[in-house]
Chain A
Amino acid sequence: MTSVLRVEALTKRFAGVTANDGVDFDLSSGEIHCLFGENGAGKSTLSSCIFGFYRPDGGRIFVHGREVDFSSPSDAIAAGIGMVHQHFVLVPEFTVLENIIVGTQKSGWRLNAREARRKIEAICSEYGIEVNLDAYVWELAVGRQQWVEILKALYLDARILILDEPTAVLTPAESQTLFRIIKAMCAKGLSIILITHKLVEVMQSDRVTVLRKGKVVDTLRTASTSADELARLMVGRAVSFTVSKPALAPGAKVLEVEGLSAIGHWGEHVLKNITFAVARHEIFGIAGVADNGQKELFEVLCGVREPSAGSVRLEAEDVTGFPARALMDRGVGHIPDDRFREGLVRQFSIADNLVLGWQRDGKYTSGPLMNRAAIGALSKTMIAEYQIAARDGAVPAGNLSGGNAQKVIIAREFLHASGLLLANQPTRGLDVGVIEYVQTRLLEKRAEGFAIVLASEELSDLFNLADRIAVMFKGEIVGIVDPRAASVEEIGMMMAGNRQAAA
């Protein structure tokens, strides 16, 4: 097969960090080539160099055999490269058609909608993409919005498509459709660079290039490798995917939620009549696509959102509407989903973040002052115990990678919580190695007797950890299943809003 894109010895440095170090990469015509690696391994930097966002400090890029030097993405687009970002850049108030043609017109002031429509319809029928061009983007499900982004690239005659973590926001069914259509595109001669850290997706590609710490570890034919080998290459050591979960009899009820409802900013019902209970030694999983009420549920449970109806009981005490402080003092720990917004203060050091919320606690103060020695010693212990990759406790949390930032939060919450742990998307955006670590730690807490509420968009998290899985859709629990008896498909259907069939 002919090579459509070749990168030779590409090097890109940022103040003190070499993000790409002599990277070689090549993309054949009609293949899905996966860029695989941990966060910070250099996947995004490499694709940004290819798409003209960054200018490499060294090395060369060839497109269709000709050397190129892009100074901006518009050069890359002109060379037939398209990119679909993890976060969509669409105008919700515009229709699909408008979103595709606005800002992508090659000449003139007038929008030539009729011609554009013909072209887009042709593209859709060629690849079997079903999108109503006259629908407003805000009307579309997230999975459909992604099509708009892809159509945008194809409309600009992209022959090489870069997809950055395309399934991060999709349901399992939507992901399957995506891969079906990606394969159809490749059959028609498009070439695709797929950036991901999910092994399931890597296995659907033709070839995979594994990056670690800015360097290429290896480029392999996917058919001749295995998930275990890829994970080992990525992390640099063997990784176990199924953490072993000992059978434990659930103990006394710790958290009892009954008829809980909440109202959102615009008066909409974000939580509707939620009822469940979690016992000691039990992990209660919550599955669901993002923005189906998980965040609001956790906000109510950790005391930063007022419920509009229903009750919450903690160790038999009615704590409905209690503020965060009161719940923390009763032993509730919370791992929020947006770690840099809700879990950490970027500008604070690791040490300061470890006592966030406990800054007035006698353990960390001496007289009217904060006890720097005690907090410093704590950070030293925690950095060692939780294997946080940082020089010392004085490093600002904002300088940490997602995985290490998450470890700081976990360290803090595990240290101060004593009965109930609320973990919302604790593995989001983390690498295989760190995910394994987080899962193991949660199971340790389960064994210690904690009750744990765990929401995750990753079904693998829930199947690995949860004793029961509830599925949330539009603010409701549509069903609670036993992970030993349920299938991924069944839960996937429920995530899309289908009520539990065999309830």
Chain B
Amino acid sequence: MITFERRVEPNLGWTVAAFALAVLACLLATALLLATTGADIGQAFSALWKGAAGSRRALTSTLVNATPLILTGLATVVAFRAQIWSIGQEGQVFAGAMGGYLGATLLMGLPPVLFFPAVLAFGVAAGALLGGLCGWLRTRFGVNEIISTVMTNYLIAYLMSWMLSGGPWTEVGTVAYHQSPELPADAVLPMLAGIPRLHVGVVLPFVAALFCSVLLARMPLGYEIRGLGYNPEALRHKGVDIARTVVVVMMISGGLAALAGAIELFGVSHRLRADNFAGLGYSGIIVGMIGGLSPLGTVVAGLFFGGLASGAVSMRVLSDTPAALVPAIQGLTLFFFLCAGVLARYRIVRKAP
């Protein structure tokens, strides 16, 4: 008889093996999915790889795609580590983009060294405010953060929709497109080393990941965040202001997600349009979870998802596979990685019957 026994301490080799198994299972399941579409599996995988990492252009695209996902992933990590189940990354991305856009309309003409930090700060502040609001609702009125964040996601999405279709930021003459005018060239993030599409914003997720890493592992606030997730009762008894900590966590999380929206605005879309931001927040939740709620893991998972996104385009073009396949792969990845996470905590024992 084969049974599972909980491990007392995690074992590195076994953990690696569990996740390798997850990758394998994921590839296999994807291959099965591809087979049902009638596509040539080998060709599809090779197209996926080429689009994700096959050239400098592909790598640029992967990095640019990964940038917002890593940031929303980090937003997830910070909140979830405190066992605060914020689903508000989606709305915070929108808030970040709108905050950034508002900043740009106000601060146009400042020298770039001041302009970009300032408009990004506008975006971050908008997201932090939104996240902080949900945190405050929980601590003050006991509103479940899942409910409040999902609701604010809708609120913000509709606010933006209104602003862009008849509201003050609507592009003149093109109401039907539901978008803002394009930002002037001065307000677009410069390119890194002159490489096309590779805006300087791509370094920020790595800076943010480093910050989160240090925060969680070394700073007193990070200690409180982890403690809050493990045992809030003990923290309360030892004088930690739980309400304040919840609000702060939600502000940091909201700020990180909003930074994703702001960078996306100034680096990629250059105008407000819902299509450009939709899904970044929700994907971030998956990225953070696959990353094992660790900042480093989130970077890896974000790059993986960024690669999937850019590889998907070439897969569609080169091997004629349906576009819906990519979200399916993302879902499968999450599923198998969560399974691996559980498996890693157990040992398989063979017992004499």
Verify if B118 is at the interface (C-beta below 8 Å from A).
no
Choose one: B7, B214, B219, B227; the contact of A356 (CB below 8 Å): B227
C-alpha spacing A370/B221, complex, angstroms: 10
C-alpha spacing A277/B8, complex, angstroms: 46
Of the listed stretches A127-135, A231-239, A345-353, chain B binds A345-353
Choose one: A346, A357, A368; the contact of B219 (CB below 8 Å): A368
- Interface size class on chain A is 20 to 34
Interface pair A370/B233, CB less than 8 Å apart? no
Interface pair A344/B220, CB less than 8 Å apart? no
- Asked if A359 meets B224 with Cβ closer than 8 Å, knowing A346-B230, A347-B230, A369-B219, the reply is yes
- Chain A residues with Cβ below 8 Å from B226 are 347-348
C-alpha spacing A86/B7, complex, angstroms: 26
Verify if B350 is at the interface (C-beta below 8 Å from A).
no
Interface pair A341/B234, CB less than 8 Å apart? yes
- Chain B residues with Cβ below 8 Å from A342 are 233-234, 237
Interface pair A345/B230, CB less than 8 Å apart? yes
Secondary structure call for the A interface: loop
Choose one: B218, B220, B227, B347; the contact of A345 (CB below 8 Å): B227
| Contact digits for A311-337, partner B, Cβ 8 Å, 1 yes 0 no | 000000000000111011000001010
Interface pair A345/B8, CB less than 8 Å apart? no
C-alpha spacing A342/B230, complex, angstroms: 12
Interface pair A324/B234, CB less than 8 Å apart? no
Interface pair B8/A16, CB less than 8 Å apart? yes
- Interface size class on chain B is 20 to 34
C-alpha spacing A302/B236, complex, angstroms: 10
Interface pair B233/A325, CB less than 8 Å apart? no
Interface pair B234/A345, CB less than 8 Å apart? yes
Verify if A52 is at the interface (C-beta below 8 Å from B).
no
Interface pair A324/B220, CB less than 8 Å apart? no
C-alpha spacing A345/B241, complex, angstroms: 16
**Residue of A at shortest CB range from B222?**
A370
C-alpha spacing A285/B226, complex, angstroms: 36
Verify if B231 is at the interface (C-beta below 8 Å from A).
yes
Minimum distance in angstroms from A396 CB to a CB of chain B: 9
In A208-241, the 8 Å CB interface with B consists of none
Interface pair B219/A324, CB less than 8 Å apart? no
C-alpha spacing A345/B224, complex, angstroms: 11
Verify if B163 is at the interface (C-beta below 8 Å from A).
no
Supply 18 further A-B pairs (C-beta < 8 A) apart from A343-B237, A347-B231: A15-B347, A324-B238, A327-B239, A336-B237, A341-B233, A342-B234, A343-B234, A344-B231, A347-B226, A348-B226, A352-B223, A356-B227, A356-B234, A356-B235, A356-B238, A357-B239, A368-B219, A370-B223
The 10 A-B pairs with the shortest beta carbon distances in the complex, nearest first, are: A357-B238, A325-B239, A324-B239, A359-B220, A369-B218, A347-B230, A345-B231, A360-B220, A342-B237, A15-B8
Can you identify 24 A-B contacts, CB atoms within 8 angstroms? A302-B237, A323-B239, A323-B241, A324-B239, A325-B239, A325-B240, A325-B241, A328-B239, A341-B233, A342-B237, A345-B227, A345-B230, A345-B231, A345-B234, A345-B235, A347-B226, A357-B238, A357-B239, A359-B220, A359-B223, A365-B220, A369-B214, A369-B219, A372-B218
